Chain A
Amino acid sequence: MKSSYIPMTKQQQEAMLSAVGVKSLDELFSAIPEKLRLKEDLNLPKPLSEHELKKHMHTLAQKNSDTCENSCFLGAGVYDHIIPSAVQHIISRQEFYTAYTPYQPEISQGVLQSIFEYQTMISELTGMDAANASLYDGATALYEAVLLASRFNGRKEVLVARSVNPEYRKALYSVLKYSGITIKEVDFNKEENDPAGKSGTVNLEQLEGKLSKDTAAIAIQSPNFFGILEDIKAISQKAKEIGALLIAVCDPISLGMFESPGALGADIAVGEAQPLGNPMNFGGPLLGYFAVKSPLTRRMPGRIAGETTDSQGRRGFVLTLQAREQHIRREKATSNICTNQALCALAAVSYLSLMGKEGLKEVATQCINKSVYTYQSLLENRQVSRVFDAPFFREFVVKPKIKPSVLNEALLAEKIIGGYDLTAEYPELEGCWLVAVTEKRSREEIDYFVDKVNLMCREGL
Chain B
Amino acid sequence: MMRDERLIFEKSVEGRIGYSLPENDVPEVELESFYPVELLRETAPEIPEVSEVDVIRHYTNLSKRNYGVDSGFYPLGSCTMKYNPKINEDIASMEGLAQMHPLQGPQSAQGNLEILYNMDKYLSEILGMERVTLQPAAGAHGEMTGLMIIKAYHMHRNDSKRVKIIVPDSSHGTNPASAALAGFEVVHIPSDERGCVDIKALEDILDDTVAGLMLTNPNTLGLFEEDILKISEMVHGCGGLLYYDGANMNAIMGMARPGDMGFDIAHVNLHKTFSTPHGGGGPGSGPIGVVKELVPFLPVPVIEKVNDRYILDYDRPLSIGKVKSFYGNFGVILRAYSYIRTMGAQGLKVASQAAVLNANYIRKKLEDLYEIPYNRICMHEFVLSAQKQAKNGVTALDIAKNLLDEGIHPPTIYFPLIVHEAMMIEPTETESPETLDNFIDIMRQLAIKAQEDPESLKNAPRTTYVSRLDEVKAARTPVLRWKK
Also in contact, A309 and B469, with CB within 8 A (given A43-B125, A285-B329): yes
Identify which of residues 207-260 in chain B touch chain A, using a CB-to-CB cut-off of 8 Å.
223-224, 226, 228-229, 252-257, 260
Q: Is residue A461 within 8 Å, beta carbon to beta carbon, of the partner chain?
A: no
> Provided the pairs A5-B82, A113-B7, A339-B283 are in contact, do residues A63 and B256 lie with their beta carbons within 8 angstroms?
no
Evaluate contact between A308 and B45: CB separation under 8 angstroms.
no
A206 at the interface (CB under 8 A from B): no
- For A281, the closest partner residue in chain B by CB is B331
**Interchain CB contact under 8 A, B102 and A33:** no
Query: Is B423 an interface position by the 8 A CB rule?
Result: no
Is A66 touching B95 in the complex (CB atoms < 8 A)? yes
B48 touching A7, Cβ below 8 Å: no
Residue B306 is within 8 A (CB to CB) of chain A in the complex: no
Check if B291 is an interface residue, CB within 8 A of chain A. no
Name the CB-closest residue of A to B278. A100
Please indicate the chain A residues that have their CB under 8 angstroms from the CB of B140 in the complex: 326, 336-339
Q: Which residues from chain A contact B2 at a C-beta distance below 8 Å?
A: none
Q: Is A368 touching B330 in the complex (CB atoms < 8 A)?
A: no
CB-based contact B255/A29 at 8 Å: yes
Q: Which 10 A-B pairs have the closest CB atoms?
A: A283-B326, A61-B96, A174-B321, A283-B102, A110-B66, A47-B344, A342-B281, A98-B68, A343-B279, A285-B283
Q: Which of B271, B321, B356 is the one whose CB lies under 8 Å from A29?
A: B356
> Chain A interface: which of B26-34, B198-206, B388-396, B448-456?
B26-34
Instruction: Give chain A nearest CB distance to B145 CB in angstroms.
Output: 9
Which of A184-192, A212-220, A348-356 lies at the interface with chain B? A348-356
Instruction: Output the residue of A1, A8, A27, A130 with the most chain B CB within 10 A.
Output: A8
Give the residues in chain B near A106, CB-CB below 8 Å: 401, 404, 461, 464-469
Given contacts A47-B346, A109-B65, A321 and B102 within 8 Å (CB-CB) = no
A137 touching B324, Cβ below 8 Å: yes
Residues of B within 8 A of A356 (CB): 16-19, 47-50
Shortest CB-to-CB span from A197 to chain B, Å, is: 9
Contact A140 B137 (CB under 8 A): yes
The main secondary structure of chain B at its interface with chain A is: loop
Q: Say yes or no: is B442 at the interface (Cβ < 8 Å to chain A).
A: no
Cβ-defined contact, B404 with A368, below 8 A: no
Q: Are A7 and B430 interface neighbours, CB within 8 A?
A: yes
B90 within 8 A of A: yes
Instruction: Give, as a whole number of angstroms, the nearest-CB distance from B379 to chain A.
Output: 8
Q: CA–CA, A33 to B233, complex, Å? A: 15
Which residue of A is nearest B262, CB measured?
Answer: A36
Contact A20 B282 (CB under 8 A): no
How many positions in chain A have a CB within 8 Å of any CB in the partner chain?
205
Query: A8-51: which residues lie under 8 A (CB-CB) from chain B?
Result: 8, 12-13, 15-17, 19-22, 25, 27-33, 35-38, 41-48, 50
Q: Is the CB of B350 within 8 A of A1?
A: yes
- List 10 additional contacts besides A98-B278, A338-B174; criterion CB under 8 Å: A16-B357, A63-B111, A100-B409, A105-B466, A260-B45, A280-B100, A285-B283, A339-B139, A442-B22, A442-B25
Interchain CA distance A77-B55 in the complex, whole Å: 28
The verdict on A343 contacting B283 (CB below 8 Å), with A8-B357, A140-B324, A328-B173 known, is yes
Given contacts A42-B126, A285-B283, contact A107 B67 (CB under 8 A): yes
Q: CB within 8 A of A338: which of B125, B139, B229, B469?
A: B139
**Known interface pairs A106-B401, A417-B108. Does A8 touch B280 (Cβ–Cβ under 8 Å)?**
no
- B103 close to A74 (CB less than 8 A): yes
Chain B neighbourhood of A133, CB < 8 A: 281
